[in-house]
Every structure is written in C-alpha cells, then in structure tokens.
Structure 1
Amino acid sequence: MILNKKRIITISAVILAMVLIVGCSSNSSVISEDRNVIRIGTSGGYPPFTFMNEKGALDGFEIDVWTEIGKRIGYEIEFNTAEFSGLFGMLDTDKIDTISNQITMTEQRKERYLFPTPYVFSGAQLIVQKGNNEIQSLEDLKGKSIGVSLGSNYEELIRNFDVNNEINIITYEDFGGSLQDVALNRIDAVMNDKLAAIINIDRSGLDLQLGGDPVHPLENSFPFVKNEKNEEFIKTIDKTINEMREDGTLQEISNKWFNVDITSK
C-alpha cells in the first residue's frame, strides 16, 4: 500500500504525541517517588493546632510536628487543606497519605486504619454558656442541643452514648461558629478537645466556660490506609515520634503553642 505524504505526516504526529504523553506520565511518577513526599491533609481552621496565620501561611502545632518529622526521616512534607469533614474521603481516595488534625484513635477507626504511636493525650470537653452549671456530663445533655465538628470523634462519642436519641446533635464545619452559637444561646453546649476549648474561650472573648471535667480521655495520632507499604512506613514514624518525645522536641513544640505539655500522659 502506498501512503500519501500528508497521511504519513499525520500518523507520525499521532505516534509522537502518544510517546510524549507516556513519557511525561512515567517521568512524573518517578519524580514523585524520588522526592520522598508525604501528603498531609489538615483543615487549616482549628487554631492553634492548624490555621492560616497573618501572613496567609499554614501554621500551628500540627504543622511544626510534621515539619520536624519530615526533617528527621528525609521526606518533603506537602500540606493539603480541606474542610475537616472531607479529610477522610481524601485519605480513602489516595489524595493524601495521612491526616494531621487531632484525630482520635477510636476502636472504629483502628479497625479501618493504621495508627503510629499517639503524639497527643487530651480529653473530650463540654463547653457551655458562662454561668450554666447544669451541664457537667453526657447524662446532662439529654433533652439539650450540642454542637460538634462534622465527622469528628466527638460526634461519634455522643451518638454512641445517645442510644435513645434524646440529644439534639448539631454538626458544624467551623469550631468558632459553634462557640458563637453557645454564647448566643442557640445551642446548649459544644464538645471539643479540652485544650482547644480553653484557648479558644480565652481568645474569643465570648461568655463561655468549661462544663465540668473531660467526659472521655483521648489519644490522638495519624491515620494511614491499611496496606503493606504503610505497615512498614509506620514503623519509621513510630521511631521518630518516640525519639522526638525522648529528646524533648515534642514537649518543646507543645510548650510553644500551649504553654503546657500535651504530648505525654
């Protein structure tokens, strides 16, 4: 068969384009592996753990912890921000490698994800309007409304307790918005981390107070999808966190943001 010149040029162009596409895809993957990148998902809206500072840069306790981990293990840390409720979806679809946003190690989560050793120890705390001494425990929430972060372990904790649907659970994307609603008497209480509660009550200037003692102890870590590669990688993260705890680095980062050590029991 004799092909005319125009057809030969067209076929050649198509083949060249296919080679370039395959070549670019291959190089992109190799570069990503060579860079040793860990993709961290975080909300960027939970100060002082993770937030955007005055310069518009991601900042906070979580950022400092992972920056230090990255330095020690020789990995570049790539932070990806999204609403908290969307972070686990990103993890499940391989858009990020783990989440750094005070993720509590619940039994349900441990069935689905791998966790390295905890890096934060805290407690689930009720927050109420100033002068309200009626809400001190989960039992006191019956017949009341409470705000929690959508998809959080606090939402899970209350739903597991509220087997008879006696508590009106209202979900929020923004912690600050839930605190404002308590102060304005739109809801009766909010549940969050005790330290975050103390700091945000102080910074907000709102008429709020803690509702009793923490209702549940918390151990927080970083969830990874269960697979053989992550099982090996978590051993490296474990070792690094333990070294940072032993040499005082975790405590130093904690004191920088909270003036107290939240990294030890």
Structure 2
Amino acid sequence: MNWLKTLATAAVVQAALMTPVVAGENLDAIKAAGVLKIGTEGTYAPFTYHDAADKLVGFDVEIGAAVAEKLGVKAEYLEGKWDGLIAGLDANRYDVVVNQVGITDARKQKYDFSEPYIASKAVLIVKSDDDAIKTFADLKGKKSAQSLTSNFGKLAQESGAELVGTDGFDQSIQLVLTGRADATINDSLSFLDFKKKKPDAPVKIAAEQENADYSGIIFRKGDAELKAAIDKALADIKADGTYDKISQKYFGADVSK
C-alpha cells in the first residue's frame, strides 16, 4: 500500500503548490521590509516622469508615496516600460503598479485592483468663444482634430464630424487654437493637464460623456488583506485632504470622480 501513500503525499504537495497566496502574506512581507515596491513608467507626464533635476515626480508618484505612508512603510519606485510593466508583478519585481492603469475586465481576470482613484472621460473641446458647438451632436459637418485610430476619433466620426488626422492631444489642441479644426474629442485628464500648464489658452470643454473610465492600483491576486489595506489608505488620503492637494497640484481639479 506504500504506492497509495506515495500518491496521497504527491497529491498533498501538488495541492499545496496550487494553493493561492495566504491571506495577509504579501501585506506582512511589505510591512516586514518597511517598503512598498511600486512599478511605474517614469516617462508618462503628468502621472510619472522626471523633472528638470531628473527626480522622479508626478501625480501617481505622490499618490503611491501617500499610500505607502498610510501603510506605515516607505515607497520604493522601480521604473520600466509600459509593455512589460504589469508583467513585472508576475515576476515579483514589485508589489504594486501605480501608473494610471485602467480597470478592465480582462485585467481583473488575472490581477486585483484597488478601488478606483482616477476617473477620465471623453470631453469635447472647442475654442472659448465658440457657442455653436455645445453637444457631441453639434459636431455634424464640423472638422474634428483626432488620432484616426483612437476611440475618440471613432466617437467624433460617429457624431458626424470630418476628421483631421493628428499625432495626439498636443497637435489636436493646436489645430483647434489655430482654427484649422473646429473641435477635438479627447481625454479629460489631458485637457486638465494642458489648462494647468496654460491657463490662458482660449479653449474650453463644451460637453463630456457621462460614463467615465477608471484607473486603480494593480497588484497580484490572492491577498484580500493587502487590497483592504490599500483601499483604506486611499480612503484615508481622500478624507484627510492629501488626495485633493495632489490632484489640485497636477490637474487643478479633483480627478477621482
């Protein structure tokens, strides 16, 4: 019967290998190390980038540091290219990624997310003195500056606009400012960032989509205690005004909703 015992032992070992992370294991390790290791790009302003002194700064950098402080540890940043950033979680290179990572069903199949801490919407941007375009429907027959393959471009086309192709937000805004396009549909966060840097630029939001896309802090599945701790840290920095201070610094508005 030794072969039965051997099979039973093998089954126990296999089951142990397949057992998910023990609750609190990752959180305990983070607290024991005194460090929250954070994966981020470092090339994605205004969320995570290097300033003139080559210091890593940005909205997400400060949010990550504030969350780490609430956990009672220090933030340590590890930079990487976007293409492999989330995969770095699988390799245990860091504990979390804080990099405006969109919360999607596909990603939720493999990873856990915090509660959302960034909301972005599609907004319709026109010149400040343009009172003719007030809704997306008003784009019919108008020229809209868009990246042709983007979702924003598709929305403009569905609204009846004639598309003027661009390389991205900066070029789209310039075409609107110079009158070569009547409008652009773009991301609300990009617009807020632009207006924060150039408050006198004569452009405004004429309309916005009701539904928002949300971003969260992403980490490996299987540790409900870590998720609860990160969610509480985010709630705490919102309650004590830290979040609003950081949000106002980079966007001049609350970007959580």
Structure 1 length-normalised TM: 0.61
Question: CA, structure 1 residues 45+145, in 2 after alignment: closer, same or farther (shift >3 Å)?
Answer: same
Match of 2:238 in 1: 245
What is the rounded CA distance, in whole Å, between the counterparts of 1:137 and 1:217 in structure 2? 15
Match of 1:58 in 2: 56
In the TM superposition, residue 51 of structure 1 has moved relative to its aligned partner by 4.0
Match of 1:228 in 2: 222
Question: CA, structure 1 residues 42+217, in 2 after alignment: closer, same or farther (shift >3 Å)?
Answer: farther
1:117 matched to 2:115: yes
Q: Deviations over 1:72-103 (max 9, x none)?
A: 32253315264xxxx365324647742423x4
Q: Deviations over 1:152-183 (max 9, x none)?
A: xxx446647866997648574x5434322433
Residue 243 of structure 1 aligns with an amino acid whose one-letter code is D
Question: CA, structure 1 residues 35+156, in 2 after alignment: closer, same or farther (shift >3 Å)?
Answer: farther
Residue 52 of structure 2 aligns with an amino acid whose one-letter code is E
What is the rounded CA distance, in whole Å, between the counterparts of 2:225 and 2:164 in structure 1? 39
Question: CA, structure 1 residues 142+116, in 2 after alignment: closer, same or farther (shift >3 Å)?
Answer: farther
Query: What is the count of residue pairs matched by the alignment?
Result: 220
Aligned counterparts, 1:83-94, within 5 A: 87=82, 90-92=85-87, 94=89
Question: CA, structure 1 residues 129+110, in 2 after alignment: closer, same or farther (shift >3 Å)?
Answer: farther
In the TM superposition, residue 239 of structure 1 has moved relative to its aligned partner by 1.5
In the TM superposition, residue 238 of structure 1 has moved relative to its aligned partner by 0.7
What is the rounded CA distance, in whole Å, between the counterparts of 1:46 and 1:168 in structure 2? 27
Task: Tell me, yes or no, if the aligned pair for 2:65 and 2:74 is still in contact at 8 Å.
Answer: no
Aligned counterparts, 1:121-160, within 5 A: 121=119, 123-142=121-140, 144-147=143-146, 155-156=150-151, 159=154
2:133 counterpart SS class: coil
Structure 1: give runs of 5+ residues left out of the alignment: 1-29
Structure 2 length-normalised TM: 0.62
What is the rounded CA distance, in whole Å, between the counterparts of 1:149 and 1:39 in structure 2? 34
What is the rounded CA distance, in whole Å, between the counterparts of 2:131 and 2:83 in structure 1? 36
Q: Deviations over 1:121-148 (max 9, x none)?
A: 5643222245444433333345543436
Question: CA, structure 1 residues 178+108, in 2 after alignment: closer, same or farther (shift >3 Å)?
Answer: farther
Worse-matched range after superposition: 71-80 or 234-243 = 71-80
What is the rounded CA distance, in whole Å, between the counterparts of 2:198 and 2:241 in structure 1? 31
What is the rounded CA distance, in whole Å, between the counterparts of 1:127 and 1:227 in structure 2? 39
Match of 2:188 in 1: 193
1:63 counterpart SS class: helix
1:210 aligned to which of 195, 204, 212: 204
Match of 1:24 in 2: none
RMSD over aligned CA atoms reads 4.2
1:213 counterpart SS class: strand
2:229 counterpart SS class: helix
Q: Which is higher, the Rg of structure 1 or of structure 2? A: 1
In the TM superposition, residue 63 of structure 1 has moved relative to its aligned partner by 1.5
Question: CA, structure 1 residues 40+211, in 2 after alignment: closer, same or farther (shift >3 Å)?
Answer: same
What is the rounded CA distance, in whole Å, between the counterparts of 2:78 and 2:139 in structure 1? 37
Match of 1:179 in 2: 173
Percent sequence identity over matched residues?
A: 21
2:206 counterpart SS class: coil
Question: CA, structure 1 residues 249+202, in 2 after alignment: closer, same or farther (shift >3 Å)?
Answer: closer
